[in-house]
Amino acid sequence: QVQLVESGGGLVQPGGSLRLSCAASGLTFSFYDMSWYRQAPGKERELVAAIPSAGGSTNYADSVKGRFTISRDNAKNTVYLQMYSLKPEDTAVYYCNARHMRIAAFNYFGQGTQVTVSS
C-alpha cells in the first residue's frame, strides 16, 4: 500500500521559513516523479514544485520561484520543500504527490500538511 506522509507544516510569520518533508513507502521511490501541490481555501489545487525521478531539473510555479526549493533523497524515500520568505498568500494545505515516470495510473497524494503564514 502506497503511503505519502507529509510533515513540517505549521504557523509562521511573514518572511519566515519552513521545510516540508514527505516520506514515501510502498513504492519504488526512484521510479516516481515527485511534486508538491497546495490548495488554499476556496481555490483549486495548484502545482507548486516538481522534481523528476532521478533528481536534476526542477520546475516551480511562478509565484514561488526564487523562494522555494524542492529536493529529494532517494536513499531515504523522501522529498522536501524548503520555503523561504513566506507570504500570507502561501497559506494553504500542502500535498505531496508521487507519479510513476511511465505509468500514469500510478499517481498518489498524501493527506496534506497545513501551512499558515500570519502575523
Q: Burial code of 58-74, b = ≥16 C-beta within 10 A, e = fewer?
A: eebeeebeeebbbebeb
> Residue 56: its pLDDT value, please?
83
Residues 54-97: pLDDT tens digits?
888 999 999 999 999 999 999 999 999 999 999 999 999 999 99
- Which cell numbers hold the place of 90? 502561501
Say which residues have a Cβ less than 8 Å from residue 28's Cβ, sequence separation at least 6: none
> Residue 93: its pLDDT value, please?
98
Report whether 110 contacts 96 (CB < 8 A). Answer: yes
| Rounded-to-integer distance, Cα 37 and Cα 60, Å | 10
Report whether 22 contacts 2 (CB < 8 A). Answer: no
> Residue 91: its pLDDT value, please?
98
Report whether 48 contacts 97 (CB < 8 A). Answer: no
